[in-house]
Amino acid sequence: VPISPNYFTLTLSQTKTLIPINKTVKLTATLTPFNDYNKNVIWTTGNGNVQLFSDEECTKAVDNTPTDVLTVYVKGIAADATTVTVTSSVVPDKTASCDVTVKNIATLKFKDGTEDIDLWTLTYFETNAVFGDMRYSMLPPFSSSVCSR
């Protein structure tokens, strides 16, 4: 049964995201109404600096052919900005997009190797937050100081 485009929606779980190089973020498309007739979508990226996978381990690539995969894992390959778009294969004028920025994000590692904190995440903590026996201070974008208490 054909679907009237007026009653069909396609949305993504995020419209903007940041991914560190070699890390992933999950995007989920929602089709409404969802049924066997309209369950296929086409995923595309603006360039090769992000890759799409249907599994969290990033072993099953998703290409730009119709698929019933509604959740993809977007992996950052190289620093860049691009767009991931999902398009209904039944109602092609229905699309949803997510602006993706891939960054080379520095990582803070403690001498014992037990902590691995990316500095981007730390920008969301309060200045002078205390981590164990270390005091960490940060002012965006990435100026920082680490010293003993």
Tokens representing 20? Answer: 């560190």
CB-based contacts of 143, cutoff 8 Å, min separation 6: none
CA distance 52 to 37: 24
CA distance 41 to 94: 10
β-strand 130-131 against 16-20: which pairing, if any? unpaired
pTM over 0.75: no
CA-based nearest residue to 67, from 100, 31, 99: 31
Any idea what the Cα angle at residue 55 is, between residues 52 and 56, rounded to 5°? 95
* Long-range pairs of 59-62 with CB within 8 A, sequence gap ≥ 24: none
Burial class for 111, CB neighbours closer than 10 Å (0-12, 13-18, 19+): exposed
Type of residue numbered 80: D
Residue with tokens 């002012």: 139
At residue 34, the pLDDT reads 73
> What is the chain's pLDDT, residue by residue, as a tens digit (149 residues)?
555 666 788 999 999 999 999 999 999 999 888 776 778 999 999 999 999 999 999 999 999 999 999 999 999 999 999 999 999 998 889 999 999 999 987 655 566 665 555 555 444 333 334 444 444 444 444 433 343 33
Tokens representing 15? Answer: 């419209």
User: How distant is the alpha carbon of residue 23 from its chain centre?
Assistant: 9
CA-to-CA separations, 139 to 33, 123, 125, in angstroms, rounded: 46, 7, 11
